Chains A and B, each alone.
Chain A
């Protein structure tokens, strides 16, 4: 690599500022045009990815509708939600509520693990999860996406409310591989304890917050919005 053996002649600082300004201007124009061109595609991709994940965790659903959870209650929405966490209600062809999908996240081994889980108000349990984003060690931590034994934890993971209906009666916890005794426990993957625990923590954090609200507002969710797609 050239190290510039000759000493560059002194340049006025006005020229330095002008050069940097011009470069920044060109770069800015480039970035803004790229943003403008790709943004619709990115939004569409995100929507499709979410749609796919919702139908994956709620296989019985044929239509869905999203709601924002606000202190005032659940508000139907079509757009991404700046005001609060979103829940996605899935309906079968007859228009009956089959379950609710919501996003949860927690810190894994490498990075934040994001997942979507399905909650069934009927059995008061978590019925499926789908990992949206996971950068944990390939071959070890990424087993949370595929490992059939681990996935079996989420066929009916209890998320019952306490008598006051303010939080879960039993926090969802991840226990060591083979030590699961209760319906609200998650049997960890041997060797991938950190990733398994992150899944448990994500589910617990999200369910503690959302389940009481969802149960309190079940009437709103059960009525499928007319224009719901």
Chain B
């Protein structure tokens, strides 16, 4: 989309931190809930999914930003999807090359990165209007924020649901795992608990986050 690109806000730390704290995709924006619920039944899966999404996010948004002056508005979504699909395919091959077990565990969710709303959302709301450097920094932040969100869910679910962390058993053989935590309802429980905790944290310290409130008021 050809947008006026005269005045660009400077590259600040907030460009990077936006996705990690203020607009965390999982905990604040509530985007990408499908992989968030589906693959966070173990830390390893969460980490792999987060990193794969981060790669696609950075790569595709950088390309979208590079082509932003060429792509007419009428075909922008189609263009974004083609670009995102290309990077997703690259990730799909890369994961198969790294570990087939991981590939099998992540199943269809690797291909579904194509329709992850974080990536398309960033492409439309950010990359299509900003220079490449801003885009890459912002996408990296968003990706790290997404990965953190997934790993937070995955750790709780794996510890409670399988009694292990990164596959290492934490409790003795007598531990009866809380199986519901690795099943879909567990995903909702844990996400709800994290959201509760974070909204409480935000309310509790309004002074220290005055800066982020100020930034938010003239944000996107």
Q: What is the CA–CA distance of A27 and B82 in the complex, to the nearest angstrom? A: 7
A28 partner residues in chain B, CB cutoff 8 A: 86
Is there an interface contact between A42 and B87, defined as CB atoms closer than 8 Å?
Answer: no
Whether A45 contacts B99 in the complex (CB less than 8 A), given A20-B79, A30-B90, A31-B90, comes out as: yes
Q: Which of B5-13, B134-142, B175-183, B201-209 contacts A (4 or more CB under 8 A)?
A: B175-183
* Number of residue pairs A-B, CB distance < 8 angstroms: 95
Q: What is the CA–CA distance of A2 and B120 in the complex, to the nearest angstrom? A: 12
Is there an interface contact between A139 and B179, defined as CB atoms closer than 8 Å?
Answer: yes
Is there an interface contact between A38 and B94, defined as CB atoms closer than 8 Å?
Answer: yes
Whether A8 contacts B72 in the complex (CB less than 8 A), given A1-B121, A26-B86, A111-B107, comes out as: yes
Is there an interface contact between B41 and A27, defined as CB atoms closer than 8 Å?
Answer: no
Does A19 sit at the interface, judged by CB under 8 A? yes
Is there an interface contact between B90 and A19, defined as CB atoms closer than 8 Å?
Answer: no
Is there an interface contact between A26 and B63, defined as CB atoms closer than 8 Å?
Answer: yes
Does A183 sit at the interface, judged by CB under 8 A? no
Is there an interface contact between A22 and B70, defined as CB atoms closer than 8 Å?
Answer: yes
In chain B, positions 28-72 with a C-beta closer than 8 Å to chain A are 41, 63, 67, 70-72
A8 partner residues in chain B, CB cutoff 8 A: 1, 72-74
Does B85 sit at the interface, judged by CB under 8 A? yes
A19 partner residues in chain B, CB cutoff 8 A: 67, 70-72, 75, 79
Does B199 sit at the interface, judged by CB under 8 A? no
Does A179 sit at the interface, judged by CB under 8 A? no
As a 0/1 sequence over residues 163 to 182 of chain B, the CB contacts with chain A under 8 angstroms (1 = contact) are 00000000000000101001
Does B111 sit at the interface, judged by CB under 8 A? no
Whether A16 contacts B107 in the complex (CB less than 8 A), given A23-B79, A26-B86, A137-B183, comes out as: no
> Chain A interface mostly helix, strand, loop or mixed?
helix
Whether A139 contacts B183 in the complex (CB less than 8 A), given A31-B89, A34-B89, A133-B104, comes out as: yes
Does B210 sit at the interface, judged by CB under 8 A? no
Is there an interface contact between B72 and A11, defined as CB atoms closer than 8 Å?
Answer: yes
Is there an interface contact between B74 and A11, defined as CB atoms closer than 8 Å?
Answer: yes
Is there an interface contact between A45 and B79, defined as CB atoms closer than 8 Å?
Answer: no
Contact check: which of B63, B101, B121, B182 meets A139 at CB < 8 Å? B182
Does B93 sit at the interface, judged by CB under 8 A? yes
Q: What is the CA–CA distance of A16 and B77 in the complex, to the nearest angstrom? A: 12
How far does the Cβ of B74 sit from chain A's closest Cβ, in whole Å?
A: 6
Is there an interface contact between A138 and B79, defined as CB atoms closer than 8 Å?
Answer: no
How far does the Cβ of A19 sit from chain B's closest Cβ, in whole Å?
A: 5
Is there an interface contact between B74 and A42, defined as CB atoms closer than 8 Å?
Answer: no
Q: What is the CA–CA distance of A35 and B75 in the complex, to the nearest angstrom? A: 27
The 6 closest A-B pairs by CB, nearest first: A27-B86, A8-B73, A139-B179, A41-B97, A38-B97, A34-B90
New A-B contacts (20) at CB < 8 Å, excluding given A41-B97, A133-B104: A1-B124, A2-B124, A8-B1, A16-B75, A19-B75, A19-B79, A22-B67, A31-B90, A34-B90, A37-B93, A38-B97, A39-B93, A42-B93, A42-B97, A45-B96, A45-B100, A135-B107, A138-B182, A139-B182, A139-B183
A-B contact pairs, 12 of them (CB 8 A): A1-B125, A4-B1, A8-B1, A11-B74, A15-B72, A26-B83, A35-B93, A42-B97, A45-B97, A45-B99, A49-B100, A135-B107
* Residues of B in contact with A (beta carbons under 8 Å apart): 1, 41, 63, 67, 70-75, 78-79, 82-83, 85-87, 89-90, 93-94, 96-97, 99-101, 104, 107, 121, 124-125, 129, 161-162, 177, 179, 182-183, 220
